[in-house]
Amino acid sequence: MEGKVRIGFYALTSCYGCQLQLAMMDEILQLLPHAEIVCWFMLERDSYEDEPVDIAFIEGSVSTEEEVELVKKIRENAKIVVAVGSCAVHGGVQSWEKDKSLEELWKTVYGDGKVKFEPKMAEPVENYIKVDYRIYGCPPEKKDFLYALGTFLVGSWPEDIDYPVCVECRLNGHPCILIEKGEPCLGPITRAGCDARCPGFGVACIGCRGAIGYDVAWFDSLAKTFKEKGLTKEEILQRMKMFNAHNPKLEEMVEKIFQGVEE
Amino acid sequence: MKNLYLPITVDHIARVEGKGGVEIVVGDDGVKEVKLNIIEGPRFFEAITVGKKLDEALAVYPRICSFCSAAHKLTAVEAAEKAIGFTPREEIQALREVLYIGDMIESHALHLYLLVLPDYLGYSNPLKMVDEYKKEIGIALDLKNLGSWMMDELGARAIHQENVVLGGFGKLPDKTTLETMKKRLQEALPKAEYTFELFSKLEQYEEVEGPIIHLAVKPRGDVYGIYGDYIKVSDGFEFPVEDYKKHIVEKVVEHSFAKHSFYQGEKPFMVGALPRLVNNADTLYGRARELYESHRDLLRPTNPFANNLAQALELVYFTERAIDLIDEALAKWPVAPRDRVEVKNGFGVSSTEAPRGIVTYALEVKDGRVAYADIITPTAYNFAMMEVHVRMMAEKHYNDDPERLKYLTEMVVRAYDPCISCSVHVARL
Ligand code: SF4
Ligand code: SF4
Ligand code: SF4
pLDDT digits (tens, 9 = 90+) for A155-177: 888 889 989 999 999 999 999 99
For the CA of A208, the nearest atom of ligand 3:
8
Choice from A168, A186, A205, A239 to test ligand 2 binding pocket (greatest atom count within 8 A of CB) = A205
Q: Hey, is the C-beta of B337 within 8 angstroms of any chain A C-beta?
A: yes
**What is the distance between the alpha carbons of residues A40 and A53, in angstroms, rounded to a whole number?**
12
Q: What is the ipTM of this complex?
A: 0.93
Whole-prediction pTM value?
A: 0.95
How many other C-beta atoms can be found within 10 angstroms of the C-beta atom of residue B266? 9
**What is the distance between the alpha carbons of residues B125 and B403, in angstroms, rounded to a whole number?**
17
- Residue with CA at minimum distance from ligand 2 atom 3: A176
Q: Hey, is the C-beta of A182 within 8 angstroms of any chain B C-beta?
A: no
How many other C-beta atoms can be found within 10 angstroms of the C-beta atom of residue B135? 10
Any atom of ligand 1 within 6 Å of the Cβ of A37: no
Q: Hey, is the C-beta of B388 within 8 angstroms of any chain A C-beta?
A: no
Helix (H) or strand (E) holding A150: helix A142-153
* Four-point Cα dihedral B377, B378, B381, B387, nearest 10: -120
Give the CA count within 13 Å in the CB-facing half-sphere of B322: 32
User: Could you give phi then psi for residue A174, rounded to 5 degrees?
Assistant: -70, 150
Q: How far is A217 from chain B (nearest CA, A)?
A: 26
CB A229 within 8 A of CB A263: no
Q: Hey, is the C-beta of B121 within 8 angstroms of any chain A C-beta?
A: no
Strands A78-84 and A119-123: unpaired
- Residue with CA at minimum distance from ligand 3 atom 8: A208
How many other C-beta atoms can be found within 10 angstroms of the C-beta atom of residue B419? 33
Q: Which residues contact B262 (CB under 8 A, 6 or more apart)?
A: B248, B249, B250, B251, B268, B269, B384
Residue A132: burial class (beta carbons within 10 Å; 0-12, 13-18, 19+): middle
Q: How far is the CA of A8 from the centre of ligand 3 (A)?
A: 27
Any atom of ligand 1 within 6 Å of the Cβ of A176: no
Q: Hey, is the C-beta of B66 within 8 angstroms of any chain A C-beta?
A: yes
The residue count for chain B? 429
Beta strands in B39-113 (DSSP E): none
Search chain A and give the residue with CA nearest B129. A29
Candidate from B52, B66, B251 with C-beta closest to A16: B66
Position A10, amino acid: Y
Q: How far is the CA of B47 from the centre of ligand 2 (A)?
A: 30
Give B58's contacts in chain A (Cβ within 8 Å).
none
Position B183, amino acid: K
User: Could you give phi then psi for residue A8, rounded to 5 degrees?
Assistant: -125, 140
Q: How far is the CA of B40 from the centre of ligand 1 (A)?
A: 14
Ligand minimally distant from the alpha carbon of residue A177? 2
Q: Hey, is the C-beta of A139 within 8 angstroms of any chain B C-beta?
A: yes
What residue ranges of chain A have pLDDT lower than 50?
263
**What is the distance between the alpha carbons of residues B334 and B147, in angstroms, rounded to a whole number?**
24
Candidate from B12, B60, B65 with C-beta closest to A41: B12
Search chain A and give the residue with CA nearest B18. A16
CB A44 within 8 A of CB B125: yes
Give B57's contacts in chain A (Cβ within 8 Å).
none
Characterize A109-121 residue by residue with b for buried, 16 or more Cβ atoms within 10 angstroms of its Cβ, and e for exposed: bbeeeebebebbb
User: Could you give phi then psi for residue B101, rounded to 5 degrees?
Assistant: -65, -35
Touching B: A residues 5-34, CB under 8 Å: 11-18, 20-21, 23-24, 26, 28-29, 32
Candidate from A93, A105, A113 with C-beta closest to B63: A93
Choice from A170, A172, A178 to test ligand 2 binding pocket (greatest atom count within 8 A of CB) = A178
Q: Which residues contact B82 (CB under 8 A, 6 or more apart)?
A: B346, B348, B349, B350
Give A99's contacts in chain B (Cβ within 8 Å).
none
Long-range contacts of A26-34 (CB under 8 A, 24+ apart): A26/B141, A26/B145, A27/A142, A27/A146, A28/B127, A29/B127, A29/B130, A31/A149, A31/A153, A32/B127, A32/B130, A34/A4, A34/A5, A34/A153
Any atom of ligand 1 within 6 Å of the Cβ of A86: yes
Give A202's contacts in chain B (Cβ within 8 Å).
170-171, 337
Q: What is the pLDDT along chain B (429 residues), one digit of tens a residue?
A: 445 566 777 777 777 777 778 888 888 778 888 888 877 777 888 888 999 999 999 999 999 999 999 999 999 999 999 999 999 999 999 999 999 999 999 999 999 999 999 999 999 889 889 899 999 999 999 999 999 999 999 999 999 999 999 999 999 999 999 999 999 999 999 999 999 999 999 999 999 999 999 999 999 999 999 999 999 999 999 999 999 999 999 887 777 777 789 999 889 999 999 999 999 999 999 999 999 999 999 999 999 999 999 999 999 999 999 999 999 999 999 999 999 999 999 999 999 999 999 999 999 999 999 999 999 989 889 989 999 999 999 999 988 888 898 889 889 999 999 887 666 655 443
How many other C-beta atoms can be found within 10 angstroms of the C-beta atom of residue A159? 9
The answer to whether the Cβ–Cβ distance between B428 and A16 falls below 8 Å is: no
Single out the residue of A213, A208, A206, A252 nearest to residue A233, CA to CA. A252
The span from the first CA to the last CA of chain B, in angstroms, equals 34
The residue count for chain A? 263
Residue B32: burial class (beta carbons within 10 Å; 0-12, 13-18, 19+): middle
Write the CA distances from A49 to A7, A11, A60, A61, B197, integer angstroms.
11, 10, 15, 17, 37
Q: Hey, is the C-beta of A247 within 8 angstroms of any chain B C-beta?
A: no
Strands B20-27 and B8-10: antiparallel
CB B4 within 8 A of CB B27: yes
The answer to whether the Cβ–Cβ distance between A93 and B53 falls below 8 Å is: no
How many other C-beta atoms can be found within 10 angstroms of the C-beta atom of residue B331? 10
**What is the distance between the alpha carbons of residues B358 and B270, in angstroms, rounded to a whole number?**
10
The answer to whether the Cβ–Cβ distance between A16 and B65 falls below 8 Å is: yes
Q: How far is B290 from chain A (nearest CA, A)?
A: 32
The span from the first CA to the last CA of chain A, in angstroms, equals 57
- The whole-number pLDDT of residue A218 equals 67
The answer to whether the Cβ–Cβ distance between B156 and A96 falls below 8 Å is: no
The answer to whether the Cβ–Cβ distance between B429 and A111 falls below 8 Å is: yes
Single out the residue of B78, B102, B60, B238 nearest to residue B166, CA to CA. B78
Single out the residue of B354, B370, B409, B357 nearest to residue B386, CA to CA. B409
The answer to whether the Cβ–Cβ distance between A47 and B171 falls below 8 Å is: no
**What is the distance between the alpha carbons of residues B416 and A87, in angstroms, rounded to a whole number?**
27
- The whole-number pLDDT of residue B357 equals 97
